[in-house]
Amino acid sequence: MQRLPLAGIRIMDFGQMWAGPHLTQWLAVMGAEVIKVETRLRLDFMRMIGVPPGIERDNFNAGTGFASINYGKKSITLNMNQPMSRELARELIKICDVVTENFSGHILERWGLGYEELKKIKTDIIYYTGSGYGRNGPHQDRPAYAEIIEAYDGSTYLNGYPGGGPATVGVSPWTDATQAMHGAFAIMAALYQRNRSGEGQYIDAAMIEGSANFLGEMVMGYAMNGDLGERMGNRHKTMVPHGCYRCKGNDEWVAIAVNGQAEWKAFVKTIGSPAWTQRKDFSNQANRRQNQDELDRLIEEWTRQRNQYEVMELLQKAGVAAGASLNVRDIVDDPQIKARRFFVEMEHPVIGNITLAGLPWRAKGRKKGNYSCPPLLGEHNDYVFGELLGLSKEEINRLKEEKVIY
Amino acid sequence: MAKGALSGLKVLEFSDFISGSYCTKLMADLGADVIKIEKPGPGDSARSWGPFPGDKPHPEKSGLFLFLNTNKSSITLDVKSEPGRGVFNRLIEWADVLIENYPRRYMVKLGLSYHKLKKIKPSLIMTSITPFGHTGPYKDFKGCDLISSHTSSEAFGNPAEGVHDMESYSPLKGPVHAADFMTGLTAAASTISAVLSLQRYNSGRHIDISAQEALASVTRQELAFCLCEGLYPTRQMGRKRVGGFLYPCKDGYVCIWIGPHWQKLVTMMGNPDWTQAELFKNPATRAEHQDDCNKLIELWTREYTMAEIDRLGMEYDVPLAPVRTVKELVNDEQLAYRSFFVEIDHPVAGRCKYPGAPYKLSGTPWEIKRPAPLLGEQNTEIYGRLLGYNRRELAKMKQAGII
Pick the last residue of a domain from B294, B311, B330: B330
B85, B78, B86, B99: which is closest to B24 by C-alpha?
B99
Does the residue B299 lie in any domain? yes
According to the model, what pLDDT value does residue A362 have?
92
Whether pLDDT at A367 is above 80: no
Whether pLDDT at B76 is above 90: yes
Pick the last residue of a domain from B330, B347, B381: B330
Does the residue B352 lie in any domain? yes
Distance of alpha carbon B312 from alpha carbon B254, whole angstroms: 12
Does the residue B233 lie in any domain? no
Contact yes or no for A181 and B186 at CB 8 A: yes
Question: What is the domain range of residue B369?
Answer: 10-218+339-399
Task: Report the CATH fold assignment for A242-325.
Answer: formyl-coa transferase, domain 3 (3.30.1540)
ipTM for the predicted complex:
0.98
According to the model, what pLDDT value does residue B220 have?
96
Nearest-by-CA chain A residue for B67? A216
Residue among A98, A150, A252, A336 with most chain B CBs within 10 A, to mutate: A336
Does the residue B180 lie in any domain? yes
According to the model, what pLDDT value does residue B236 have?
67
Q: What is the CATH number of the domain that holds B159?
A: 3.40.50.10540
Mean pLDDT of chain A: 96
CA distance A397 to chain B (A): 33
The confidence band for A1, taking pLDDT boundaries of 50, 70 and 90, is: very low
Q: Which residues contact B271 (CB under 8 A, 6 or more apart)?
A: none
> Cα–Cα distances in Å, from A45 out to A40, A42, B173?
11, 8, 29
B217-232 pLDDT per residue, tens: 999 999 999 988 887 7
**Are residues B346 and B326 located together in one domain of the fold?**
no
Contact yes or no for B189 and A188 at CB 8 A: yes
Does the residue B236 lie in any domain? no
Answer for the pair A7, A364: CB distance below 8 angstroms, yes or no: no
According to the model, what pLDDT value does residue A111 have?
97
| The one-letter amino acid at A123 | T
**Chain A (137-196) residues lying within 8 Å, Cβ to Cβ, of chain B:** 137-140, 142-161, 165-174, 177-178, 181-186, 188-193, 195-196
Does the residue B231 lie in any domain? no
Whether pLDDT at A368 is above 90: no
The confidence band for B127, taking pLDDT boundaries of 50, 70 and 90, is: very high
Residue B72 bridge partners (DSSP): B34
Residue A129 bridge partners (DSSP): A101, A204
Using the Cβ of A300 and the Cβ atoms of chain B, whether some distance falls under 8 Å is answered with no
**Are residues B303 and B395 located together in one domain of the fold?**
no
Residue spans of alpha helices (H) in B261-359: 262-268, 278-281, 283-288, 290-301, 306-316, 326-330, 333-337
Mean pLDDT of A70-84: 97
Judging contacts by C-beta atoms under 8 Å, the chain B residues touching residue A174 are 174, 178, 218
Taking the CA atoms of residue B125, residue B178, residue B215 and residue B118 in that order, the dihedral angle to the nearest 10 degrees is: -10
Answer for the pair B141, B123: CB distance below 8 angstroms, yes or no: no
According to the model, what pLDDT value does residue B103 have?
98
**Are residues B177 and B270 located together in one domain of the fold?**
no
Whether pLDDT at A2 is above 90: no
The helix (run of H) or strand (run of E) holding residue B82 is helix B82-94
According to the model, what pLDDT value does residue A366 have?
59
Does the residue B227 lie in any domain? no
**Are residues B32 and B145 located together in one domain of the fold?**
yes
Residue spans of alpha helices (H) in A232-365: 260-270, 285-290, 292-303, 308-317, 328-331, 335-339
Mean pLDDT of chain B: 94
Task: Report the CATH fold assignment for A10-214+340-401.
Answer: Rossmann fold (3.40.50)
Distance of alpha carbon B44 from alpha carbon B37, whole angstroms: 9
Distance of alpha carbon B29 from alpha carbon B22, whole angstroms: 10
**Are residues B309 and B355 located together in one domain of the fold?**
no
Judging contacts by C-beta atoms under 8 Å, the chain A residues touching residue B154 are 170, 172
**Are residues B53 and B141 located together in one domain of the fold?**
yes
Using the Cβ of A350 and the Cβ atoms of chain B, whether some distance falls under 8 Å is answered with no
Q: Which residues contact B398 (CB under 8 A, 6 or more apart)?
A: none
**Are residues B355 and B320 located together in one domain of the fold?**
no
**Chain A (240-269) residues lying within 8 Å, Cβ to Cβ, of chain B:** 242-246, 251, 253-255, 257, 259
The confidence band for B74, taking pLDDT boundaries of 50, 70 and 90, is: very high
Pick the last residue of a domain from B330, B355, B377: B330
A193-217 pLDDT per residue, tens: 999 999 999 999 999 999 999 999 9
According to the model, what pLDDT value does residue A363 have?
87
**Are residues B210 and B357 located together in one domain of the fold?**
yes
Mean pLDDT of A356-361: 96
Q: What is the CATH number of the domain that holds B302?
A: 3.30.1540.10
Contact yes or no for A244 and B150 at CB 8 A: yes
B109, B179, B375, B136: which is closest to A170 by C-alpha?
B179
CA-based R_g, chain A, Å: 25
- Number of structural domains found in chain B: 2
The helix (run of H) or strand (run of E) holding residue B166 is none
**Are residues B314 and B351 located together in one domain of the fold?**
no
According to the model, what pLDDT value does residue A156 have?
96
The confidence band for B209, taking pLDDT boundaries of 50, 70 and 90, is: very high
In angstroms, the first-to-last Cα distance of chain A is: 30
Angle at B389 between CA B127 and CA B380, to 5 degrees: 75
Residue ranges per structural domain of chain A: 10-214+340-401, 242-325
Distance of alpha carbon A279 from alpha carbon A40, whole angstroms: 69
**Are residues B169 and B133 located together in one domain of the fold?**
yes
Contact yes or no for B158 and A167 at CB 8 A: yes
Distance of alpha carbon B86 from alpha carbon B90, whole angstroms: 6
The confidence band for B239, taking pLDDT boundaries of 50, 70 and 90, is: low
Whether pLDDT at A11 is above 50: yes
**Are residues B131 and B253 located together in one domain of the fold?**
no
Mean pLDDT lowest among A266-270, B17-21, B259-263, B343-347: B259-263
Packing angle of the helix pair B178-201, A207-214 (nearest 10 deg): 110
> Cα–Cα distances in Å, from A62 out to A46, A173, A369, B67, B281?
10, 21, 23, 44, 25
Nearest-by-CA chain A residue for B3? A193
Mean pLDDT of A238-249: 96
The confidence band for A38, taking pLDDT boundaries of 50, 70 and 90, is: very high
Question: How many other C-beta atoms can be found within 10 angstroms of the C-beta atom of residue B84?
Answer: 21
CA distance A124 to chain B (A): 11
Nearest-by-CA chain B residue for A358? B217
| The one-letter amino acid at B395 | A
Judging contacts by C-beta atoms under 8 Å, the chain B residues touching residue A146 are 244
The confidence band for A170, taking pLDDT boundaries of 50, 70 and 90, is: confident
Q: How many residues does chain B have?
A: 403
Q: Which residues contact B397 (CB under 8 A, 6 or more apart)?
A: B83, B87, B383, B389, B403
DSSP string, A22-76: HHHHHHHHTT-EEEEEE-TTS--GGGGTTPPTTS-TT-TT--HHHHHHHTT-EEE
Answer for the pair A345, B170: CB distance below 8 angstroms, yes or no: no
Distance of alpha carbon B270 from alpha carbon B276, whole angstroms: 12
Does the residue B279 lie in any domain? yes
The confidence band for B162, taking pLDDT boundaries of 50, 70 and 90, is: low
Distance of alpha carbon B116 from alpha carbon B110, whole angstroms: 10
**Are residues B250 and B192 located together in one domain of the fold?**
no
Distance of alpha carbon A370 from alpha carbon A3, whole angstroms: 11
